[in-house]
Amino acid sequence: MKFLEYIKRFNWITFAAMLALIALGTAAIYSAGNARSGEVFHVMWKANLGTAVFGLAVYLALAFFDYRKYITVSAIPAYALAVVLLVVVLLVGTSTYGGRRWLWFFQPSEVSKLCVISMLAWLFGPTDSPPWMRGFRGFLLAAALVGVPAVLILKEPDLGTMLTLMPATALMLFVARVWRRALVVALCAAVVGGTALLGAVYEAEKPGVPEARREAIMKYVPLKPHQVKRVRVFLFPDEDPNAAGYNLRQALISIGSGGFSGKGFRRGETNHLKYLPQSISMNDFIFCVYAEEAGFVGSVLLLALFGALLVPCAWTAYVVTDGTGRLLALGVSTLVFAHVFINIAMSVGLVPITGLPLPFISAGRTFLVTVMAGLGIVQSVSIHGRETRT
């Protein structure tokens, strides 16, 4: 294929959106970092920008080479390596904020999500794969492939990262027609289970419930105390605004006080006066930092950019003829979307608070490279996956 053809098939919209998001992210990290005391945070934006440049190289490399070739070669070794690293991190990883997630300078859990997606895409993508793979045994295989890393990530513990993997893999298996009935049942079970969980916590924690009844209900709720607390804050945001509800309250104050046009770059008071919890303002709560300074206009711009980034990926999945490519495009874009949606939704109080980075905006180098690599693969699908049609 000619280089000119590459250029023609290159999805410029998603690429431009990605670059714009990197730019906004750099600014947000600059602002969040400068609010913190500590030289290391003041220069964090440079480190992140450097990582983005590295990520861009990875992106372009993965985009221009035919994904079918490298996925075939690397799916199994990458998956195996990811599992090994997840085990290693549990043994020798560095602890931060009550979790073992770091191996020297990177987080294996972030990379592993991409490895699981490529593995599933490579296995279940080809339409000519043996029929058993669309049945119960295929489902078991997929469940095992997703389950092993998921359990290891859950051990770190990193519930948020584990949860973002679920919609992506579920969608991939659904599209690949792997025992759909089970998937539908699982989806229903998840919805019913989640609702039941919320309902149970509501019943137990609503004001005026006697202690005995509370304990009787909570006995059946499989959540850790800090998770129960987060769910409670989500259900009753105005209760206890100085302790448990502090983070959500500050998140809402910073976003809301941004108003229509924002307070201006580096002028976010909630952030700069350190009301927004400093330990997570550069990561999980960076949307608050951004929204306070950029206002509603900036927030909508950000949402539009994420739309411009992800909708073309879905379009790519629609137009490609190759099953693996379709699954890759859907898997990666759904993974990124899950991060975007859950992160912003928790910042605005639509879902309970979960520790998740916002792609491109949060400071997080492993995650940034992972997302860019994933989108590079999708770009490759856009370029190479349509070849058979012409």
Stretch that binds other proteins, among 46-54, 89-97, 199-207, 301-309 (CB under 8 A): 301-309
Binding mask 133-172 for other proteins (x = CB under 8 A): --------------------------------------x-
* Per CB under 8 A, 214 contacts other proteins: no
Contact by Cβ (8 Å): 275, 267: no
* Per CB under 8 A, 273 contacts other proteins: yes
User: Cα(205)–Cα(32) distance, rounded to whole angstroms?
Assistant: 34
User: Cα(140)–Cα(142) distance, rounded to whole angstroms?
Assistant: 5
Which residue has 């600014």 as its token pair?
27
* Per CB under 8 A, 289 contacts other proteins: no
The residues facing 357 across adjacent strands are none
* Per CB under 8 A, 179 contacts other proteins: no
Length of the chain measured in residues: 390
**Which residues inside 313-332 make contact with other proteins, applying CB under 8 A?**
314-315, 317-318, 323, 326, 329-330
User: Cα(109)–Cα(161) distance, rounded to whole angstroms?
Assistant: 7
User: Cα(357)–Cα(367) distance, rounded to whole angstroms?
Assistant: 8
Stretch that binds other proteins, among 105-113, 229-237, 310-318, 363-371 (CB under 8 A): 310-318
The residues facing 106 across adjacent strands are 103
The residues facing 95 across adjacent strands are 100
User: Cα(215)–Cα(219) distance, rounded to whole angstroms?
Assistant: 6
* Per CB under 8 A, 174 contacts other proteins: yes
Any residues with CB less than 8 A from the CB of 349 and at least 6 apart, and which? 234, 237, 248, 251, 252
Query: Minimum CB separation from other proteins for residue 315, in Å?
Result: 6
**Which residues inside 23-82 make contact with other proteins, applying CB under 8 A?**
37
> Binding residue for other proteins (CB under 8 A) from 295, 352, 357, 376?
295
Query: Minimum CB separation from other proteins for residue 76, in Å?
Result: 24
* Per CB under 8 A, 236 contacts other proteins: no
Question: How many CA atoms are closer than 13 Å to the CA of 37, on its beta-carbon side?
Answer: 2
- The residue ranges that bind other proteins (CB under 8 A) are 37, 127, 171, 174-175, 177, 249, 252-260, 269-270, 273-275, 291, 295-296, 299-300, 303-304, 306-307, 310-311, 314-315, 317-318, 323, 326, 329-330, 333-334, 337, 340-341, 344-345, 348, 350
